[in-house]
């Protein structure tokens, strides 16, 4: 079955890279000549950013999954020397011309990192329940070998997002406050990332940068959580739209916005803790869905169904209705982050149209079987069942 990697190759060789929001990996060979200056459709360019102030020697822990390739592509475009570190299992040789070091963080095999120096490290790959150990080992080793450690964390570290607007200073999970975890069990995802953040700070102190993305969306995302919506909307017909169109909010991050900003945070030696969601004011659920519909042409209609009815019929936020997280108690600020600090630190946002087009291009490059079996969201049959129940209840 063709994989995301095959798509990346196809997108590049078929000249579809701009539309798909991608510009690698073939184009990375050599000096970077021929790389487009932007990975967006030329019609929906992101806000311009300043050229890099310096040339970086950048180490990326990971690099070949979902977000890593976007970092590598952008860092090479910006003229940086990039080294990636992974097991060499997922996609060996993905980037000709980019140095690849091999090791296994789960086994503590970090020898390939010894005796080298870098300006900055971006740590993507610590995302399992043992993430604190991974970060303790790698940051502990690298603290004398690199000037900056940027840890990709998550919005899931927050213990309470009831404040509106939320900020990155909201309370974070601890062992004591994590309800679905008890001593002796593997850490939950959110707790593992929260403790891993602490390990990064323990090693790098004030030279640490922590970036907490919300849902990362766009080309290369194999989870299909955001992808569900452009694909569903493109299919047309009567579309079940969840919750309150105006009051339910959405803040997600395009993978390219996240990854490009991470590289710039290293260029600028920006330290501290930041959210990575957007855009600044978020979007209502209506703006989100209608905005995606603006890049499709199939006739469609919307049926908004309240969250109580959906709950009665087994349609859950973030599950059957992905991306949607209504402001239930404790989640009021989930998609209402004040991003002043992040924007001041250089976070920029692509248009929703760009994200939707790039996601559809990614999806259409998949083989037929993968296109037919999304990994997130309601099935067509389940959607029809709930819509019929809603119409019966209303009549
Ligand atoms: N998806 C979301 O919506 C979302 C939201 C918030 C935060 N996040 C965070 O975003 C990050 C996403 O990471 P990604 O997977 O896309 O990153 P990536 O850097 O693109 O890929 C993960 C890399 O880890 C390497 N790897 C896996 N196991 C390893 C091991 N034992 N030792 C060394 N390297 C190993 C893989 O290569 P090999 O297999 O070859 O080793 C791969 O290169 C995670 O930190 C996640 O917590 C995601």
- Whichever domain contains 277, its CATH number is 3.40.50.720
- φ/ψ of residue 346, rounded to 5: 105, 10
- Res 208: pLDDT: 98
| Residue span of the structural domain in which 76 resides | 4-394
Residue 69 has pLDDT above 50, yes or no: yes
- Res 12: pLDDT: 35
Residue 99: strand pairing partners: 83
- φ/ψ of residue 202, rounded to 5: -60, -35
Mean pLDDT taken over the chain: 90
* Pairing status of strand 278-284 against strand 249-254: antiparallel
Assign 45 a pLDDT band (cuts: 50, 70, 90): low
Let me know: does 121 contact 71? Beta carbons within 8 Å.
no
Ligand 1: residue whose CA is nearest its atom 39: 90
Nearest Cα to Cα of residue 74 among 48, 105, 35: 35
Q: Calculate the alpha carbon distances from 198 to 59, 174, 354 in Å.
A: 20, 11, 35
Helices 285-293 and 228-235: crossing angle, nearest 10°? 60
Residue whose token pair is 């599950």 = 319
Let me know: does 165 contact 337? Beta carbons within 8 Å.
yes
Read off the pLDDT of each residue in 169-188 and give the average, rounded to a whole number.
95
> Where do the H-state alpha helices sit in 178-306?
189-204, 228-235, 255-267, 285-293
Most ligand 1 atoms within 8 A of CB, residue of 111, 125, 138, 259 to mutate: 125
Give distance in angstroms: CA of 139 to centre of ligand 1. Answer: 16
Rounded to 5°, angle at Cα 353 from 351 and 355: 75
- φ/ψ of residue 132, rounded to 5: -60, -40
Let me know: does 88 contact 64? Beta carbons within 8 Å.
no
**127 CB under 6 A from ligand 1?**
yes
Kindly report which listed range (7-16, 137-146, 182-191, 338-347) carries the lowest average pLDDT score: 7-16
Nearest Cα to Cα of residue 355 among 306, 274, 303, 283: 283
**20 CB under 6 A from ligand 1?**
no
143 is written with which tokens? 């603290």
Q: Which atom of ligand 1 is nearest to the CA of 217?
A: 3
Looking at the structure of the chain, the number of domains it has is: 1
Give distance in angstroms: CA of 121 to centre of ligand 1. Answer: 14
The burial of 71, by beta-carbon neighbours within 10 Å (0-12 exposed, 13-18 middle, 19 or more buried), is given as buried
For the whole model, what pTM was predicted? Answer: 0.92
Residue 28 is given by DSSP the state: G
- Res 21: pLDDT: 39
End-to-end CA distance of the chain: 46
Give distance in angstroms: CA of 17 to centre of ligand 1. Answer: 23
Reported as a single tens digit per residue, the pLDDT across 231-288 is 999 999 999 999 999 999 999 999 999 999 999 999 999 999 999 999 988 999 999 9
């Amino acid at each position: 079955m063709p994989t995301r990697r095959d798509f990346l190759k196809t997108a590049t060789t078929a000249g579809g890279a701009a539309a798909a929001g991608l510009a690698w990996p073939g184009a990375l060979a050599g000096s970077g000549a021929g790389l487009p200056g932007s990975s967006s459709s030329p019609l929906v360019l992101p806000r311009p950013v300043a050229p890099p102030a310096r040339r970086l020697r950048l180490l990326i822990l990971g690099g070949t999954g979902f977000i890593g390739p976007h970092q590598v592509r952008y860092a090479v475009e910006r003229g940086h020397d990039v080294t990636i570190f992974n097991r060499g299992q997922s996609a060996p040789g993905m980037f000709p011309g980019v140095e690849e070091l091999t090791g296994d963080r789960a086994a503590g095999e970090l020898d390939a990192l010894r005796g080298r120096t870098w300006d900055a490290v971006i740590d993507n790959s610590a995302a399992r329940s043992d993430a604190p150990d991974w970060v303790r080992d790698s940051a502990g080793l690298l603290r004398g070998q690199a000037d900056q450690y940027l840890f990709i964390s998550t919005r899931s570290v927050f213990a309470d997002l009831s404040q509106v607007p939320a900020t990155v200073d909201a309370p974070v999970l601890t062992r004591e406050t994590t309800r679905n975890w008890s001593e002796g069990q593997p850490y939950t995802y959110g707790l593992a990332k929260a403790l891993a953040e602490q390990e990064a700070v323990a090693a790098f102190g004030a030279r640490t940068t922590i970036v907490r993305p919300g849902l990362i969306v766009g080309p290369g995302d194999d989870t299909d959580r955001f992808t569900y919506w452009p694909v569903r909307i493109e299919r047309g017909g009567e579309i079940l739209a969840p919750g309150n169109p105006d009051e339910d909010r959405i803040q997600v991050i395009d993978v390219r916005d996240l990854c490009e900003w991470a590289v710039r945070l290293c260029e600028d030696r920006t330290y501290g803790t930041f959210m990575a969601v957007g855009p600044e004011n978020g979007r209502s659920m209506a703006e989100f869905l209608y905005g995606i519909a603006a890049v499709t042409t199939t006739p469609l209609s919307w049926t908004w169904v309240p969250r109580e009815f959906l709950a009665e019929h087994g349609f859950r936020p973030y599950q059957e209705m992905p991306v949607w997280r209504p402001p239930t108690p404790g989640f009021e600020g989930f998609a209402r982050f004040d991003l002043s600090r992040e924007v001041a630190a250089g976070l920029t946002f692509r248009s929703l149209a760009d994200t939707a087009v790039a996601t559809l291009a990614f999806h259409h490059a998949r083989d037929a079987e993968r296109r037919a079996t999304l990994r997130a969201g309601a099935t067509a049959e389940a959607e029809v069942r709930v819509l019929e129940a809603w119409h019966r209840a209303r009549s």
